[in-house]
Structure 1
């Protein structure tokens, strides 16, 4: 009889051994029979030691073990909780830059970036597991063979309170994008502006969000207007791509946009010009250089053209990547966005309770496309008005279009659009609009957009701009009907 063991069977035994101990550490997360009875029968000497003891005693990881003791993490890794440690070899530890261990705080952060709560075995059904480290950074454990840019050279070394993997490179914690921006604030104008948004509210709502922030420095705090309105670049849980303009490019882009950002003061004009320059430069995913497309679309719908040749520097960070751009020009034709106002989303009506005459409709156009609109009919009030608000208008001329459906009357009615002004507290009527577009016919069964006029905005105030839809100066049914699917305000390039 041939007594030589089949090598494939031996590999199977090793795999099952690892799975068995992973079951023990996950405390019943997987189905394993009599785990503690079988645990007691194993001869693995490491199971007599906790993680702290095992890492310090190992000839491969003793230097990392010394740092555990120095930072007090030897006590944490001796507790009854279950941990996973990715421990660098002594050779890898010797290659760590001095700056990563320059202070007690730096040493603790370094250690924390190698430790995770709960067990992460190299045997997993997932190709990539995102692991939250004690440092609050997130690292990717891929195929059980690599973590971040380090290779696992010995995996699944179990102890009494967890397991450790030996890696060939230390996991020195990287800065996140916001930490990098803060570091550049003294030498980069765009970075300095972004830091200044800690104190500036772009919108009224920003102050409310900031008031809800927790004290201190937290990855999920909203202490900056860029975090509130664009993306929280201090958040370690998500990945971002961020384009940081060098000073020359930043000045060029802001000067091109400045004529469209006139505010009541020079300072506020500068603040809003800079904001609308930088708000389209962050994207909610990390994109490697080789996968950068020729155009990205920002959160706000702006198309941002990219030219790899203008990338001055690429910096890989803990929550994404920063590309420092020597040049990045966004054409005004794509930068200045059309504002669309949905008819079924008013915030107020003029005098009188006309809810019984107001219809929020779901309709289907001749092409079978479903849309929503508003219709107010037979209200018997002359110049009855529906009010809307629009944000982010530019100081330029606008062409105004509407789609207004007249599908339940055979006669034509007229309505008009007004821009700006204020609402009377006495009777809800419109006062002092700066632009009154002409009354325009709403003909039966027209589903195309209709041009209704132009206006020019020379100075933009704070908050929203009032936009109103006004009925005919008549009390007659069928004559003073209002209808609106949407309004489009299309900016004109100067």
Structure 2
């Protein structure tokens, strides 16, 4: 027997289905709204009390309430601003290291590390919310159930001027990386060196920052005057996360010893200082890398040095407010990684031997035979014997360099000679005297390869203020052309 469908029954089922899903969607939307947004619509009597009153009257948090009174933050949490408090249980307060509550200043910092301005409910569209506490530390509130390593025991307890979450562990304020480094300065050579850079200028620009140091920023003054914090990473910055590999004394001294022959300065003390700087500048990274991720992370410093990490040399892992410090017995970085090649782009000169040849100077955008775009400079038909384009280079090592160039001669039918002149001083007549080296080489036709043009040796490390590309000593146009894509100066390991 064939049973025909009942149209009225079909309509009824569809109707009930629509009602069910509409109701489900309404419940879903309602459950995803922020309770703080709806707190004012309720008649909860708890809203008649402010945060200070509620925390002090809640049986689980009375000990934290006492700390609010002792530090004056009961008054702060009574005002009209909106706050969120992560209030530790009484048991959690009992587990706090007594040294963190040994005086009023420490108690205030402890309390501030549990309070944030504005409302942070447990309901959020983000998995992790970074919260700035009144302590100026930044803590991660995850999924509304964890803040740092503390579990939320009871969430979203409302008051007239905000809300509080009860947590099962106190949020003990941690030092940041820079504060930790300074605390180790008396016992750790690398820490002592980093701290010493408050008074020693690695670069010329460092003294400018120190001279302009505002008195109003005394709390963060190291960030303005320390050569490491200004030139590498500001490890005093609470907003970012970093990883620092802090070497124990023998490991640090070993790395400095390896670099000293390549960073020779005027005195033994200044040589040691510069070798130490070039050691430590590659030990900080702009990310916090957890222990379990070390083996899969490629550590390349902001200066381009790849640093291999041997986890067997980790002595201690220290979690801090803005990252992680790994104390290392040794961290051996091969010289092949440390001694960086200097590349100077031809189209970025510092100046010229004469400034009236702009009409003869061409900054070119071209493609090589493989279709790869490059930029270079060409000075042509200028009529000046030994016309020069000037460059400079920072952070040169005291060693021999192999000099390469890529110089494209693609619009002339003849070759020409040009010279790489390294160093020297300019006399009163504008002539360069006592150069370190002059490397003359012929520029062939349509040669796109990198060409080794010779070697030179630097006896002292530092900045080279004068590197020049010099035209042939002739006024004949076509024979005194200059062209340069780039110079590459490759340090040689002794």
Work out whether the TM-score is over 0.5.
yes
Q: Which residue of 2 aligns with 1:217?
A: 219
The answer to whether 1:456 aligns with 2:457 is yes
Are the counterparts in 1 of residues 34 and 123 from structure 2 also a CA contact under 8 Å? no
Q: Which residue of 2 aligns with 1:249?
A: 251
Q: Alpha-carbon deviations, 1:355-410, whole Å to 9, x = none?
A: 11111111111111111111111111100001111011111100000001111111
Are the counterparts in 2 of residues 219 and 234 from structure 1 also a CA contact under 8 Å? no
The whole-number CA distance in structure 1 between the counterparts of 2:432 and 2:212 is 36
Q: How far has the Cα of 1:467 moved from its partner?
A: 1.0
The whole-number CA distance in structure 2 between the counterparts of 1:122 and 1:113 is 18
Equivalent residue for 2:432, pick from 426, 430, 433: 430
Q: How far has the Cα of 1:99 moved from its partner?
A: 1.3
What SS does structure 2 have at the residue aligned with 1:478?
Answer: coil
Q: Alpha-carbon deviations, 1:317-351, whole Å to 9, x = none?
A: 10000001111100111110101111111111002
Q: Which residue of 2 aligns with 1:33?
A: none
Q: How far has the Cα of 1:228 moved from its partner?
A: 1.0
The answer to whether 1:357 aligns with 2:371 is no
What SS does structure 2 have at the residue aligned with 1:141?
Answer: strand
Q: Which residue of 2 aligns with 1:291?
A: 293
Q: Which residue of 2 aligns with 1:31?
A: none
Are the counterparts in 1 of residues 113 and 134 from structure 2 also a CA contact under 8 Å? yes
Q: Which residue of 1 aligns with 2:471?
A: 471
Q: Which residue of 1 aligns with 2:387?
A: 384
Q: Alpha-carbon deviations, 1:12-35, whole Å to 9, x = none?
A: 87994883642258xxxxxxxxxx
Q: How far has the Cα of 1:221 moved from its partner?
A: 3.1
Q: Which residue of 1 aligns with 2:490?
A: 490
Q: Alpha-carbon deviations, 1:37-95, whole Å to 9, x = none?
A: x3xxx231210011111111111111101111111111111111111100001111111
- Unpaired runs of 5+ residues, structure 2, are 1-19
Cα RMSD after superposing both structures: 2.0
Are the counterparts in 1 of residues 210 and 225 from structure 2 also a CA contact under 8 Å? yes
The whole-number CA distance in structure 2 between the counterparts of 1:74 and 1:208 is 44
What SS does structure 2 have at the residue aligned with 1:22?
Answer: helix
The answer to whether 1:19 aligns with 2:33 is yes
Q: 1:133 to 1:11 in 2, by over 3 A?
A: farther
Are the counterparts in 2 of residues 412 and 441 from structure 1 also a CA contact under 8 Å? yes
The whole-number CA distance in structure 1 between the counterparts of 2:282 and 2:103 is 37
Q: How far has the Cα of 1:210 moved from its partner?
A: 2.8
Are the counterparts in 2 of residues 264 and 460 from structure 1 also a CA contact under 8 Å? no
Q: Structure 2 length normalisation: TM-score?
A: 0.92
Are the counterparts in 2 of residues 121 and 156 from structure 1 also a CA contact under 8 Å? yes
The whole-number CA distance in structure 2 between the counterparts of 1:127 and 1:18 is 13
Are the counterparts in 2 of residues 219 and 236 from structure 1 also a CA contact under 8 Å? no
The answer to whether 1:443 aligns with 2:444 is yes
The whole-number CA distance in structure 1 between the counterparts of 2:466 and 2:49 is 71
Are the counterparts in 2 of residues 419 and 465 from structure 1 also a CA contact under 8 Å? no
Equivalent residue for 2:312, pick from 309, 312, 315: 309
What SS does structure 1 have at the residue aligned with 2:299?
Answer: strand
Are the counterparts in 1 of residues 222 and 229 from structure 2 also a CA contact under 8 Å? no
The whole-number CA distance in structure 1 between the counterparts of 2:301 and 2:34 is 48
Are the counterparts in 1 of residues 176 and 321 from structure 2 also a CA contact under 8 Å? yes
Q: Which residue of 2 aligns with 1:156?
A: 156
Deviates more, 1:217-226 or 1:234-243: 217-226
Q: Which residue of 2 aligns with 1:79?
A: 79
The whole-number CA distance in structure 1 between the counterparts of 2:130 and 2:249 is 36
Q: Which residue of 1 aligns with 2:350?
A: 347
Larger-Rg structure: 2
The answer to whether 1:272 aligns with 2:277 is no
Are the counterparts in 2 of residues 222 and 232 from structure 1 also a CA contact under 8 Å? no
Q: Which residue of 1 aligns with 2:15?
A: none
Q: 1:253 to 1:197 in 2, by over 3 A?
A: same
Q: Alpha-carbon deviations, 1:433-481, whole Å to 9, x = none?
A: 12112x21111211110011100111235x4442111000011111101
What SS does structure 1 have at the residue aligned with 2:224?
Answer: coil
Q: 1:14 to 1:44 in 2, by over 3 A?
A: farther
The whole-number CA distance in structure 2 between the counterparts of 1:10 and 1:166 is 31
The whole-number CA distance in structure 2 between the counterparts of 1:284 and 1:431 is 44
Q: Which residue of 1 aligns with 2:131?
A: 131
Q: How far has the Cα of 1:11 moved from its partner?
A: 13
Count of residue pairs the alignment pairs up: 470
The whole-number CA distance in structure 1 between the counterparts of 2:210 and 2:351 is 28
Q: Structure 1 length normalisation: TM-score?
A: 0.92
The whole-number CA distance in structure 1 between the counterparts of 2:222 and 2:120 is 25
Hey, which bits of structure 1, 4+ residues long, moved more than 4 A?
9-15
What SS does structure 1 have at the residue aligned with 2:237?
Answer: coil
The whole-number CA distance in structure 2 between the counterparts of 1:251 and 1:185 is 15
Q: How far has the Cα of 1:170 moved from its partner?
A: 0.3
Q: Which residue of 2 aligns with 1:263?
A: 265
Q: 1:310 to 1:386 in 2, by over 3 A?
A: same
Are the counterparts in 1 of residues 34 and 124 from structure 2 also a CA contact under 8 Å? no
1:9-158 matched pairs, under 5 angstroms: 16=30, 19=33, 21-23=35-37, 38=41, 42-158=42-158
The answer to whether 1:366 aligns with 2:366 is no
What SS does structure 1 have at the residue aligned with 2:307?
Answer: strand
Are the counterparts in 2 of residues 240 and 319 from structure 1 also a CA contact under 8 Å? yes
What SS does structure 2 have at the residue aligned with 1:222?
Answer: helix
